[in-house]
Structure formats: structure tokens, C-alpha cells
Amino acid sequence: MILCANPRAQYLAHQAEINAAIGDVLEQGRYILGEAVAAFEREFAAFVGATHGVGVGSGTEALHIALRALGLEPGDDVVTVAHTAVATVAAIELAGCVPVLIDIDPDFYTLDAGQFRRAITPRTRAVVVVHVYGQAADLEPILEIAREHGLKVIEDCAQAHGASYRGRRVGTWGDVACFSFYPTKNLGAIGDGGMLVTQDAAVAERARLLREYGWGSERYVSRVAGWNSRLDEIQAAILRVKLRHLDKDNRTRARLAASYDAMLGGCSLALPRRRPDAEHVYHLYVVRSSRRDALQAHLQSVGVSALVHYPVPVHLQPAYRQRLRGADALPVTERASREVLSLPMYPELPEDDIAIVVDGIRTFESRLA
């Protein structure tokens, strides 16, 4: 089976370095919030171009803590998209805030600035901008609208490690940016993990308090009410190794995407579109087809795992359908959920496997001709 993502292949690609890094942590004897976490926070923040990094337990927790660290309060409205992982909306609710879901633009699947402007009310306090599939949202107009209304901007960069917009990496445009290190991400742990980055020292300090019971310089004394959300030393050590290879891995993803583009030329699928002012890092290679479900089933039958990101928009999921405000109908999102399909994409994917994927697609199309 050709997998859609393959974290084990990345481990094997860097096995000796990763094993040595894990061994160093085990021998050192400090396993929570030690030097590996501190070093990774510095290195990843520098990679993004931010001043401060705060490692936490997951990308969801990074968003949750970011909202609280920015001073949002229970009942505040936070605008975001329904075309995202449920984690984005779950984090908003964890912070006690109210998700207000809007539609996406039809070409890039990211937050639509016009929809954002129309969604703002006196209750709105922030927007979570999701950089989906490895490509930045159109940040400039979103930031302009947010500044006009005094709103906080949180970047959800869970699928965009290393992506850039107008020559600057994502993660440095908003008030805070949040990353997931889930194993399938461009920068993935062998377990869970997350980080928030910011240029604001006060926000970073509050996030550090919130991630560990509100403890400051005096352990066991809570300065604020917080939680337990800590990136552990072993995951930080693994991520430090992988970070050294991230730019190269992202260039490989771009090369593989170019191969898909070339080999799929002339087929009926809608291929990924790229913003002219952004650098795509291809967390996912997402095509569209009006016959998506049949195509996915055919690929599965010939040994190709192609997945759907995302099959049910958040506003239509059973847990959220009756609770969310501002999301009665999101036609662009709903159509995308019926048509998008993620083809196999990871840096270690052999070109020969891409040829097999493409052959499966062309065979499917020839049967329908």
C-alpha cells in the first residue's frame, strides 16, 4: 500500500541522529521541560523568525493557551473557518470562547477576507487564520481588517511549517502563531507536541505560566490558574534533529508536487493552485474531482491510500451542528468537502510511487471516458 503519509519513513531517514538524541535525553535524566525543550524553543522560534517559542503538549493546546495568553475571555467571539481540523474549533471552545465559522475562498481553501469583514460584530475579539495544506492564507487584507477593528490575530500553522507569504515565513504575521508537531506534519514528532511563537515577551511569559499550573519562578506556587500542557524532552530532542532537515524536506515536497503536476497534466482533476506571493510547502497535495468518492475507492483498490481533508466541515459535524453561530450554510466549504482528495505526499515518497498513483488516476478516468 502506498500511504498518504508515512512518519516511519522519516524516522528511518534520520534514524541514527534520532536514536542518538533520544539516548542523550535518557542518559541526562531530566524528562520534562529541560534543556532539550528550551533549545528547541529557541531554535524553532529562530527558524520561523519569532522572538519567543513556548513548547506545549499539542497543536490544539497551543491554540487554547494562545487565546488565553492574549487575554480573551469566556464568551468572546473568535472568527475562523469550518474547513479545518476540528482541533481549531475545539481549542476556541477550550478557551471558553465562541467559534464563529465563515466560508473559504474557492481557489486556496483559506479564510476569505470579505467573509471575515461581514462576520465581525461587537462581540468579536479575535480571528484564527488557518494556513491549510501547506500554503498561507492571504494575510495582508485579513490583518488590515483586524487592525481596523482592534482584533487579535492567531495563525494556525499546523500544516505550514516553513511556508512563507510575501517573503516572510508564516508564524510572524499575527499576534501569536501555533504549530502542531503531530507525526504526519512537515515537522513531526514521534508522539504529540505543539508550540506557540510570538514577538511579545509578555504573551510568551503568560503562556509559560498557563502551560504548567501557573507556576512561575517558584515551583508549586500558582501565580495564575493554569493547566498541564508540556512538550516533553524526548519529543523536543527528536524535533531538534528533524528541524535541521526541514528546509530540505520541504524542497523535496515541492519537487514531488511538481512531478504530480507534470504527470497529471491533461487529466480532469483540478490540481492545487498556488498563490503567486507565497511559498507552498505541500503538507498535502490536494486535488479536486466531482467523482471524488469513486476515485478514492478505485485508488484504494489498486493499493493507493488517498485521504480526505476534510470530509465533514466542522459546522456540519454532529457535535457542533446545533451549537455554532454564523454557519448555517457555507457553500464553498461544503462543495470542497465533497470534492477534495489528498494524494500521497511525504519527502521519502519514491517517484516510482507517484507514477503508480497517477496511473491509477488515469485508469479510473479512462474507464469513465
Domains in the chain, please, with CATH? 7-243 (3.40.640.10), 246-368 (3.90.1150.10)
What pLDDT digit, counting tens, does each position of 169-182 carry? 999 999 999 999 99
Spatial CB neighbours of 258, under 8 Å, sequence gap ≥ 6: none
Closest to 55 measured CA to CA, from 267, 197, 151: 197
The amino acid at 129: V
Separation between Cα atoms, residue 59 and residue 207, nearest integer Å: 14
Residue found under cell 483559506: 110
| pTM for this predicted structure | 0.97
Separation between Cα atoms, residue 327 and residue 311, nearest integer Å: 17
Q: Please state, for a pLDDT cut of 90, what percent of the chain lies above it.
A: 95
Spatial CB neighbours of 195, under 8 Å, sequence gap ≥ 6: 41, 44, 53, 54, 55, 56, 62, 178, 179, 181, 231
Q: Regarding beta strands 164-165 and 278-279, do their DSSP bridges make them parallel or antiparallel, or are they unpaired? A: antiparallel
Separation between Cα atoms, residue 7 and residue 160, nearest integer Å: 17
101-113: burial string, b at 16+ Cβ within 10 Å, e else? bbbbbeebbbbbb
Contact 27, 168 (CB under 8 A): no
> From first to last of its 369 residues, what are the pLDDT tens digits of the chain?
999 999 999 999 999 999 999 999 999 999 999 999 999 999 999 999 999 999 999 999 999 999 999 999 999 999 999 999 999 999 999 999 999 999 999 999 999 999 999 999 999 999 999 999 999 999 999 999 999 999 999 999 999 999 999 999 999 999 999 999 999 999 999 999 999 999 999 999 999 999 999 898 888 999 999 999 999 999 999 999 999 999 999 999 999 999 999 999 999 999 999 999 999 999 999 999 999 999 999 999 999 999 999 999 999 999 988 765 555 689 999 999 999 999 999 999 999 999 999 999 999 999 886
Closest to 98 measured CA to CA, from 71, 116, 125: 125
DSSP label of 310: -
Residues 224, 227, 229, 233, Cα dihedral to 10°? 70
Q: Regarding beta strands 124-130 and 152-156, do their DSSP bridges make them parallel or antiparallel, or are they unpaired? A: parallel
Separation between Cα atoms, residue 76 and residue 354, nearest integer Å: 46
